[in-house]
Amino acid sequence: MELEVKERKFIGAMLGLAIGDAMGIPVKGMNERDIRKNIGPIKSFLPSEKYNLPAGQYSELTQLAIALATSIMEVKHFKTEVYVRYLVYLLERGLIGHLKINLDALELLKKKGRHSEVYLKYLVNLWDKGLLETDEKTPALSGRLGKEGRRELDSMEESLQSGAAVRVVPLGLLYYNQNQKLRELTTLCTSITHRDSRVVAGALAVAFGTAMALKSAEPLNKQEYIQTVSDFVRLENKEMAEALLFVNEAKHIYDIGIDSKAEGNILQTVPAAFYCFIHSFDNYYSCILSAVSKGGDSDTIGAIAGALCGAYNGVSSIPLGWRENVKDAEYITEISHRLANMKIWD
């Protein structure tokens, strides 16, 4: 792949992820009817009253993907302990998207395990499941652990939420020609916080789907694309493979089973994002509008669909106003450019 084309596609994927995330967060947890009634067609960035975010601000989904890309650039390959250090840095400073976690809660979690990776797993699982109590006056987390949260801290039950599937996009870009390495590193990255094979398979689908979109010839063979991604994840989890394969048969995004829950099931959100991509693969604008206009876990669906469509079409396919007004556009562009030019160490 020519470097100039590669750069455009890397930037398209990372900016596409951030834009889809920022477009989706204001309507997260809503349903399509309420969006139409209270907001109308979503054609530009909107502020999020629920999460107290300005227009164009992405969520923790993009922040975790940026952290992964940055950690890889530091050592020229993916290394678990380096990425965990970046995550801990973000968590300790309350910088994860719209969530702010009190340092007292972090100290309590640190006592549960001597190693940062251990307490990070505890923390992210609690955060994923909403088991850190919320301050009544602010959407930020107060850091108080309720009784259920304390039990969850000890039991470490698995979550089927989709955040892990978004953050692996940089791996799909960097290892787009190394399928086995991509599988190995995506599994390793996902397992930092999630062990359920359905979540790992969802992350593999996004990473591999990004790689496929990056190098796919035009026009996209939609049926073959979905079949290939499904085959890639089948070894990890057949349920996710079948959910993806159904995308080829679905007549409408609702056939996939998405609902208005803010924290969607990965078996629905990942296929929904792929549905939006293959039905608007050559039009980033239409892809994102279809991804976020149904509400539910709209930031996740928007982020994944945006990354896939951006990787396929390149940055020039993204409306200029969106590119200029998403938060940290210049920084994300710089990171993407560096990734495209980076030589990976084995």
* pLDDT above 50: residue 140: no
68-82, 153-167, 179-193: range with lowest mean pLDDT: 153-167
Q: How confident is the model at residue 145 (pLDDT cuts 50, 70, 90)?
A: very low
CA 25 vs CA 30, 71, 158, 228, 289: distances in Å: 10, 25, 24, 30, 13
* pLDDT above 50: residue 230: yes
* pLDDT above 70: residue 264: yes
Residues 9-58: pLDDT tens digits?
999 999 999 999 999 999 998 988 899 998 988 989 999 888 888 999 99
Q: How confident is the model at residue 197 (pLDDT cuts 50, 70, 90)?
A: very high
Q: Identify the residue with better confidence: 149 or 80.
A: 80
In this prediction, residue 343 carries a pLDDT of 76
Q: How confident is the model at residue 173 (pLDDT cuts 50, 70, 90)?
A: very high
* pLDDT above 90: residue 83: no
Q: Identify the residue with better confidence: 176 or 158.
A: 176
70-84, 135-149, 181-195, 264-278: range with lowest mean pLDDT: 135-149
Structural domains of the chain, ranges and CATH numbers in brackets:
3-56+161-340 (1.10.4080.10)
* pLDDT above 80: residue 163: yes
Q: How confident is the model at residue 100 (pLDDT cuts 50, 70, 90)?
A: very low
- For residue 230, which phi and psi values (nearest 5 degrees)? -60, -45
Triad 234, 239, 243: Cα angle to 5°: 95
CA 157 vs CA 24, 126, 136, 191, 199: distances in Å: 28, 10, 27, 13, 13
Q: Are 153 and 122 in contact (CB under 8 A)?
A: yes
Query: What SS3 string covers the chain?
Result: CCHHHHHHHHHHHHHHHHHHHHHHHHHCCCEHHHHHHHCCCCCCCCCECCCCECCCCCCHHHHHHHHHHHHHHHHCCCCHHHHHHHHHHHHHCCCCCCCCCCHHHHHHHHCCCCCHHHHHHHHHHHHHCCCEEECCCCCCEEEEECHHHHHHHHHCCCCCCCHHHHHCHHHHHHCCCCHHHHHHHHHHHHCCCCCCHHHHHHHHHHHHHHHHHHHCCCCCCHHHHHHHHHHHHHCCCHHHHHHHHHHHCCCCHHHHCCCCCCCCCHHHHHHHHHHHHHHCCCCHHHHHHHHHCCECCHHHHHHHHHHHHHHHHCHHHCCHHHHHHCCCHHHHHHHHHHHHCCCCCC
* pLDDT above 50: residue 141: no
Give me 271's structure tokens: 């296929």
Q: What is the DSSP pairing of strand 141-145 with strand 132-134?
A: antiparallel
In this prediction, residue 79 carries a pLDDT of 87
In this prediction, residue 287 carries a pLDDT of 97
Q: Could you tell me the pTM of the whole model?
A: 0.85
Q: How confident is the model at residue 239 (pLDDT cuts 50, 70, 90)?
A: very high
Go through 102-127 and write b for each residue having 16 or more CB atoms within 10 A of its CB, e for each that does not: beebbebbbeeeeebbebbbbbbbbb
* pLDDT above 60: residue 288: yes
Query: Taking all residues of the chain, what is their mean pLDDT, rounded to a whole number?
Result: 83
In angstroms, the CA 119 to CA 69 distance is 22
Q: Identify the residue with better confidence: 257 or 167.
A: 167
Q: Identify the residue with better confidence: 125 or 328.
A: 328
* pLDDT above 90: residue 80: no
